Structure 1
Amino acid sequence: MSRPSQFAVFGHPIAHSLSPRIHQAFAQQFGIALEYRTIDAAPSVFADAVRHFFSEEQGRGANVTLPHKSSAFALADERTEAAARAGTANVLTRLADGRLAAHNTDGAALVRDLTDRHRLDLRGHDTLLLGAGGAARAVAWSLFEAGVQTLTIVNRSPEAADALADAIGEPARVHTRYWEDLGNIGSFDLIVNATSAGTLGQALTLPLSLVGSRAVCYDLGYGASAFGFLAWARATGALHAYDGLGMLVEQAADAFQLWHGKRPDTEPVYKSLRTQGA
């Protein structure tokens, strides 16, 4: 019997990842046999681990999470436009000729989670994006293209925020402010936390004045990493506070479709994970 197709998610740490459960659930929808596992690779050995997986183990595709998204982008032989814009990759695919293609599906997944699952019309929203790292770069373009009215980017190092705004190149709608000014820049309809504070276990102190009367607050993380931001959002009286579990499921669906040519139904998988306390 031939070995099932090989897939994996790379990270450090990675044992907590829900990706194996998600991809197995997707595969069951179509009767596809696959092996999907976690691979914990420290930054110093990530490149070698990826090459071994795709060449020696005949891996067909891999998801990539912290702290390797920039390294995954650099390893690839070709890159999608979304990956090039972000400068990071969360999906690697082995092409027929053995070369690696890099994709970034984070931005599309966020917008789909907000608009399809949570029924939010992004058009006309004044949006605050906290952070300007790889995750923020991935979602900024998608939020802009989804029609937010304004996008204000705030990062602790303003140079990264300025570079992201300059790359988008729409100064009438996309601009930056200093982190120290958060207390006096007004309120927003949509606040997206793309910082790594929660993942690193750091407190994120934000003024209550940021939250408009019908604001939606969204953390790209899920589980424990999103607790602090979501608690702040609820304390301010935000209309809705969401974590990034739906975004995780949606980006997994994008990767699954890239690899298998079939689009899975994400809603039962999302509901199952939510019911199980994810």
Structure 2
Amino acid sequence: MTIQAGVSGHPIAHSLSPLIHTTWIEAAGLDARYVAHGAESAEAFAALLDRGRAGELRGLNVTAPYKEQAFAAADEVSDAARLVGSANLLVFENGRLRADSTDGYGLMNALAEQAPALDVAGRSVVILGAGGAARAAAGALALAGAQVRIVNRSRDRAERLAADLGPAVAIAEGSTAFSGAVLIVNALSVRPDLDVGLLDVGTVVMDMTYRPLETPLLARARARGLIGVDGLAMLIGQARPSFEAIFGRAAPATDVRERVLARLGDAA
């Protein structure tokens, strides 16, 4: 029987997850389908979860705005999902729903791949933003031993994030927020206004955005001689444990990044 899986969010047509997972499915020779499931409302997303519980789906990746709803609907949640209060991965089994968050794994995987010399343990890192993406990044970096600083226009939201994640996460403001930081992560959905001249030599700059792949922030950082880490590495990194959880095997080694770059229209 064909394994049915996919990704859901709103909007969802832009998602690269079907391309990534289908590339791995084909390379592994699996009898499976991974497609985008549009859900224009919370009620529509709940109905999709009901289909999963009924056995129509093996697994589902979740993107905005349904990650918190996915977490709340689960019968079982991983430590990573509990830490950030949301889920981007759901696995259906015998009518039950298991939730996990692989975004933090994706971030750490991207750093290991594109900035292998970086060690955040005991060091200061800065996250721009305080939304769901920032929460996942902060959780993963705090677990890795970093001292996390949150820089966000809305102090209230930043305070909630810091309170939820504990003493390893604090709020920072002004130009001194970047002093001594070994890593800057942009988790904002809008273009950040960051003067890379404020950053120490050797600072790694990561942008979670992958459209465009070379964001203005990464371009400015690289022009100054800093190491840049792109959002596509994180996207593929978070997809790997999702594939394994849904299909029961590791993602095969294949040219998935090249295929995604071709879709995006960027040069490798």
Tell me the TM-score normalised to structure 1 length.
Answer: 0.85
Aligned to 2:73: 75
Which residue among 80, 89, 92 is the counterpart of 1:91? 89
Q: Residue 166 of structure 1: CA displacement?
A: 2.9
Say whether 1:242 aligns with 2:242. Answer: no
Aligned to 1:200: none
SS in 2 for 1:123: coil
8 Å CA contact 1:123, 1:147 repeated in 2: yes
Q: Distance in 2 between matches of 1:210 and 1:78?
A: 44
Which residue among 173, 185, 190 is the counterpart of 2:177? 185
Whichever residue aligns with residue 185 of structure 1, its letter is: A
Deviations 1:222-268 (A, max 9, x none): 12387243244345x15122221111111111011112221114563
8 Å CA contact 1:114, 1:120 repeated in 2: no
Which residue among 49, 66, 70 is the counterpart of 1:51? 49
Say whether 1:176 aligns with 2:171. Answer: yes
Aligned to 1:216: 204
Tell me the TM-score normalised to structure 2 length.
Answer: 0.87
Q: Residue 175 of structure 1: CA displacement?
A: 1.8
C-alpha root-mean-square deviation of aligned residues, in Å?
2.3
Q: Residue 46 of structure 1: CA displacement?
A: 3.6
Whichever residue aligns with residue 185 of structure 2, its letter is: V
Which residue among 110, 113, 136 is the counterpart of 2:110? 113
Whichever residue aligns with residue 128 of structure 2, its letter is: L
Q: Residue 114 of structure 1: CA displacement?
A: 0.8
Q: Residue 33 of structure 1: CA displacement?
A: 1.3
Deviates more, 1:156-165 or 1:18-27: 156-165
Q: Which ranges of structure 1 fall in alignment gaps of 5 or more residues?
A: 198-202
Aligned to 2:250: 263
8 Å CA contact 2:81, 2:100 repeated in 1: yes
Matched residues, percent identical? 37
Deviates more, 1:117-126 or 1:72-81: 117-126
Q: Distance in 2 between matches of 1:70 and 1:210?
A: 35
Aligned runs of 1:154-169 on 2, under 5 Å?
Answer: 154-169=151-166
Q: Residue 22 of structure 1: CA displacement?
A: 0.9
Aligned runs of 1:118-157 on 2, under 5 Å?
Answer: 118-124=115-121, 125-148=123-146, 150-157=147-154
Q: Distance in 2 between matches of 1:5 and 1:220?
A: 30
Whichever residue aligns with residue 119 of structure 1, its letter is: P
More RCO (CA 8 Å, sep 6+): 2
SS in 2 for 1:212: coil
Q: Distance in 2 between matches of 1:153 and 1:103?
A: 24
Deviations 1:19-39 (A, max 9, x none): 111111112232111111111
